[in-house]
């Protein structure tokens, strides 16, 4: 009878230890899945931000070139420069539409809308200068040019602000991923230690 009770007690203790090991294993699995989802989401955000920064930088270069093309056109009357300006502005507009579509609602969308408005204001002034130059209305060109220069400065400033904000966001997201990886590693180490401890207890009970 005592032998039976002793075996039953050992059996119950082993059952408790096995349940603890299974629970720890499930907790580890849940921990890993949670952080894998978080890391995956952060990685997607990093890819999106990288693409946005790349498009903004490319659009900024195109805009700078379009400003130079406009001024050179006024100096040389080279029609190819007028075509180059139109092509550059069309590409910039396409990039802005794409970024707005990807941004969704929020602060980034508001920044893009402001940038798009500033680009439109500059383009309006540029088109007026093109038309005035075609009829050799130099006084009107000179009158519009300060407004165009002011709008160009606003556009470039907004480009720089958004690129800088995107780079800061990328750094923050990279830090978050590093922290999440560290948490995952620490959680796994703690879990494995607990499993090892319970396994030792099980071995002791069996002996």
Q: Would you place residue 62 in the very low, low, confident or very high pLDDT band (cuts 50, 70, 90)?
A: very high
* Cα–Cα dist 115/96, whole Å: 8
Average pLDDT, the chain: 83
Predicted confidence (pLDDT) per residue in 19-35, tens digit? 777 788 788 888 888 88
pLDDT band at 50, cuts 50/70/90?
confident
- In terms of Cβ atoms closer than 10 Å to its own Cβ (0-12, 13-18, 19+), residue 1 is exposed
pTM (2 d.p.): 0.75
Other CB atoms closer than 10 Å to residue 122's CB: what's the count?
Answer: 25
Tokens standing for 158?
A: 């907004």
pLDDT tens figures, 106-126: 667 888 889 999 999 999 999
> In whole angstroms, what is the distance from residue 158 CA to residue 165 CA?
10
DSSP for residue 135: T
């Amino acid at each position: 009878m005592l032998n039976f009770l002793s075996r039953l007690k050992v059996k119950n203790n082993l059952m408790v230890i096995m349940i603890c090991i299974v629970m720890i294993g499930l907790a580890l699995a849940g921990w890993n899945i949670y952080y894998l989802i978080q890391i995956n989401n952060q990685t997607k955000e990093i890819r999106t931000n990288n693409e946005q920064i790349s498009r903004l930088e490319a659009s900024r270069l195109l805009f700078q070139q379009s400003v130079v093309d406009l001024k050179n056109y006024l100096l040389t009357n080279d029609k190819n420069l007028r075509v180059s300006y139109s092509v550059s502005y069309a590409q910039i507009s396409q990039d802005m539409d794409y970024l707005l579509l990807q941004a969704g609602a929020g602060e980034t969308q508001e920044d893009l809308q402001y940038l798009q408005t500033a680009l439109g204001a500059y383009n309006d002034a540029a088109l007026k200068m093109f038309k005035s130059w075609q009829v050799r209305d130099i006084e009107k060109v000179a009158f519009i040019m300060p407004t165009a220069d002011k709008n160009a400065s606003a556009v470039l400033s907004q480009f720089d602000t958004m690129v800088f904000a995107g780079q800061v966001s990328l750094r923050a997201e990279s830090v978050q991923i590093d922290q999440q990886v560290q948490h995952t590693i620490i959680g796994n180490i703690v879990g494995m230690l607990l499993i090892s401890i319970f396994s030792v207890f099980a071995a002791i009970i069996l002996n």
